[in-house]
Structure 1
Amino acid sequence: MSPFRSNIRRKIRLKKKEYPDESEYRAALAVTQHQLGHMLRHADEATAAFTVSSELLKELNEETPQNMVYVKQLAHNYSHLGRLLYDVGKTEEAHETYRASVQLIGEPG
């Protein structure tokens, strides 16, 4: 695991301890990580940011499955993560991630 990824995960664990019941805070952190994934130029760092965002959104979705905002954000995040994985040659992981996105929102059409 890269130092960047380790540092991000450590910070998230600390913040989750400070604000364990603040779903709005965790949702904002997930969005921030998603946006960071777009800005990072190195694939491993961008993947780490999208992965952290996905983990946070997955937790929020499990806690409140009726909140469609989290479902849509998670599906959107999986889509971007899948594209990034595909671009770096991790096609099987990319396909799994795309399938997870489709499973959340259903087949188009």
Structure 2
Amino acid sequence: MTTSYKELLKQREALEQQINEARRRELTSAIAQVRDLVAEYGLTQQDVFPAGRAGRVAAAGGVKVAPKYRDPVTGQTWTGRGKAPKWIQNEDREKFAI
């Protein structure tokens, strides 16, 4: 016996509801366990989520680098990172150094 498309969709919807309910229950339990541990050991947010590695990654993403090369004709600059612009490709970079 084959199951129709509409029946399968109803089954999927019922399963998704069960999945969401199970997730909600388990999250509630997990959060309670975490809160108990935090209270028991007197942990702070810094203890649990140190700024170390995550902070460096976020900070490094927005750091600007000073340009190393300038095109004397247009005044465009390049940091020396990434793909070289056309004005410096196949040229001696020393003559463009800032």
Q: Give the TM-score range, shorter chain.
A: under 0.3
Higher relative contact order structure (alpha carbons within 8 Å, sequence separation ≥ 6): 1
Q: Which has the higher helix share?
A: 1
Q: Which has the higher strand share?
A: 2
Which structure's CA Rg is the greater one?
A: 2
TM-score by length of 1: 0.24
TM-score by length of 2: 0.26
